Structure 1
Amino acid sequence: MHVTSERRTLPPGTRVARRYVLGRPLGRGGSSIVYAASDPDGRPVAVKILDPEPEHRATERERLFREARITEQLRHPAIVRVHDSGPLAGGMAYLVMERLDGITLEEHLDGRFWMDLEEARALARVLLDALSAAHDAGVIHRDVKPANLILQGGRPAAPKLIDFGIGRDLGDPRSRVTAPDVVVGTVGYMAPEQLFGDEPTPRTDVYAAGATLYEMLAGRPPHDIDGGDIRDVLGAMVRPPTPLASLRPAIPPALAAGVMRALEKAPRDRFADCRELADACGLEARAA
């Protein structure tokens, strides 16, 4: 299989690594396209074809292989399963994962004032348990956000955490692809220490999970950051978000207080991990 640098859409029936037959495109990123596909046994899978610009190929390929290494070791029903990965001709690469039928949490929230409380609690319970499992394996996601949660069948109680492309395996030096002074993550959800290139810890994901839960419960992100404007970003570093309890008094006090503590600026002031956050919020994190 040959892929051009224009990232053209490959036609149905294209074979990848002689084993996977592509179908329709499912989504497109900055340097990749994800396709519906089938494996050699005819089972449905999703195949990500990485096709970055020539000057970024080495870094992007290593990130894809890092995503494969990290995700393959995680076994949790709410974390996407990765089955295979490898290089392709012309500096390209592929990653094969389970095919998910659903929408992102970001899409689910679009147009809603806020989520139903019970739906939000159900989703939060599963998300925090999935992150706890990743942390137990020494993995920090570093990009938890609504766009990286797939709601299977559109059901908030059945989320899948995806995209460990910038994740860190604290026990594997190869998982450090980004230079220490390069910022990775998504503005509005990344913890303040990520902006300074500090080493990630479980508290880094606690912050991002808190930002995601805040948006689910309040109907808006913790901070209004317009397109990553540096003034808004810097303001978010010092200003606390509006208390959840004042935005939606019906939120149980323990849940509102737990989310607000997860969004503390200093890591030491947050919960040590996602289990502590779940317990404080009264969610009793458990497997989906």
Structure 2
Amino acid sequence: MPPSVGTHHAPGPQYLVAGRYRLKSRIGGGGMGTVWLARDQLLDREVAVKQVISTEGLTEDSADNVRKRAMREGRIAAKLSHRNAIAMHDVALDRGEPWLVMEYLPSRSVAQILHATTTLEPREAAQIGAQVADAMVEAHAAGIVHRDIKPGNILIAEGGRNAGLVKITDFGISRAKDDVTLTQTGVITGTPAYFAPEVARGAEPMEASDVYSLGATIYTMVEGQPPFGVDDNSITLLHKVARARINPMTKAGELEPVLLRLLEPSPTKRPTMAEARDALTAFAAGSRGTKDQVLTGLITRPGTGTPVWAQRNNRSSTTGPHRPVAGATLPPYAPTIAGDRGSRDVPHTRQEHHSPTLMSTPPPYSVTSRSSSSHRQPMNPGYGEPTRTPVTSSTALAVSVFVFFAVLAVLVVLAIALLR
């Protein structure tokens, strides 16, 4: 069947989605769609709306598949009602195009925080991990596997009374166990730097895989890079992950034994998400705190009450290059790299930029990849305000001098006119 001819209007600011959600500004994007800050005209509140990849130009079967994916993502996210998970409000159809309507949280991702700070203190990282684990315990109980836990998908609220609130987001590639598979058999998606070893070998992600990814994420918070380091070549990185030999820890301190449990190579020997939550909670609480304080408290610098990221001066990040992989010979367990053409990447840590999202399939294997330009204007996956470029003092001085001479010229002209 030939591609359908689309007549869809490209959305922009002030565009009204489904007669209800007025777009305000673009605040994020990626291979799975663009995120906008919008105003819910009916309930008079700000929301984040995700424009799923357009169906324009697709065959009818492909377009229907995109719509089903959007409905699936909305259905999965709607199953969760947890203070540490971004809430799903609605799935809207606008001119046949699916949009996901989510809770709006002015925030920064942990990836953005790490870009500015490099590392976090072990107890801070443990508390963040414990709250994410608490949300994922509920997700696993509902039969949902996240499949892409990483620093870029953990948000920490900024400003107001919610400053310091932790939320896990982006269930876009999640899968409910009883859901119908909408992709070809064996397709696995995620970010390789945070893959569990069994996933790097081509196994289907399960609850134990989420536990490993959470461990890899916390490892990155305290050590400054993922457990298997940084490698521009994604295939080489996958080899390292599949072998399950993590780099020795140098900054984790007393948190190291907990992380080693989460990063257990064998999925059958790994703790459950509930056990991981309890271990992280106990470490974060220490001898003075309680479980409830860790799981419900806002992330703050000990003794100051100030959110950790509020003390950072560098609030921006830049997108690193995704170098294409060409002509690589894949190992028996290596997944195929499937790039998303024309996608905009949400900024993550420097380490994550060397780990594009992968889709693994059974053999035979082929390799394609995407590359993206560096030094883009960063977009906040936490739906926060876009980064603004401040006016420098030298620019202000130049403007002042120009205005002075312009006023002086006007005065001279007036004086000459009066003398005549």
What TM-score does the superposition give when structure 2 sets the normalisation length?
0.61
Shift of 1:228: 4.8
Q: In 1, are the aligned partners of 2:48 and 2:104 still within 8 Å (CA)? A: yes
How much identity, in percent, do the aligned residues show?
33
Question: Measured at CA, do residues 218 and 190 of structure 1 come closer, stay the same or move farther in structure 2, by a change above 3 Å?
Answer: same
Structure 2 residue 154 is the aligned partner of structure 1 residue 149 = yes
Q: CA deviation at 1:112?
A: 2.0
Q: Does 1:65 align with 2:77?
A: no
Distance (whole Å) between structure 2 residues aligned to residue 182 and residue 228 of structure 1: 21
Separation in structure 1 between the aligned mates of residue 202 and residue 70 of structure 2, nearest angstrom: 21
> What letter matches 1:38 in structure 2?
R
Shift of 1:118: 3.1
Residues 120 and 156, structure 1, Cα contact 8 Å, conserved in 2: no
Quote the residue 1:87 is aligned against. 93
Q: How does 1:67-146 map to 2 (within 5 A)?
A: 67-89=73-95, 92-146=97-151
Please give the alpha-carbon distance, in whole angstroms, between the structure 2 residues aligned to 1:193 and 1:179: 19
Paired residues of 2:229 and 2:247 also in contact (CA < 8 A): no
Corresponding letter in the other structure for 1:141: H
Distance 2:128 2:140 in 1: 18
Matched to 1:105, the amino acid is: V
| Secondary structure, counterpart of 2:190 in structure 1 | coil
User: What's the counterpart of residue 275 of structure 1?
Assistant: 274
Deviation at 1:31, TM superposition (A): 4.5
Aligned to 1:198: 203
How many pairs are equivalent?
274
Distance 2:32 2:63 in 1: 9
- Misfit runs of 4+, over 4 Å: 154-157
Report the equivalent of 1:24: 25
The alignment's TM-score, normalised by the length of structure 1, stands at 0.86
Provide the aligned C-alpha RMSD in A: 2.3
Q: CA deviation at 1:156?
A: 8.6
SS of the residue corresponding to residue 51 of structure 2 reads: strand
Asked whether 1:262 is paired with 2:265, we answer: no
Q: Check whether the contact 1:140–1:169 (CA below 8 A) recurs between aligned residues.
A: yes
Residue aligning to 1:13? 14
Q: Which has the higher contact order (CA 8 A, sep 6+)?
A: 2
Structure with max Cα Rg: 2
Does structure 1 residue 184 correspond to structure 2 residue 183? no
Q: Which one-letter code corresponds to 1:165 in the other structure?
A: G
Q: 2-side partners of 1:186 and 1:58: how far apart?
A: 26
C-alpha separation in 2, matches of 1:212 and 1:265: 15
- Between the aligned partners of 2:204 and 2:241, the Cα distance in structure 1 is 20
CA contact 1:143–1:208 (8 Å) conserved in 2:
yes
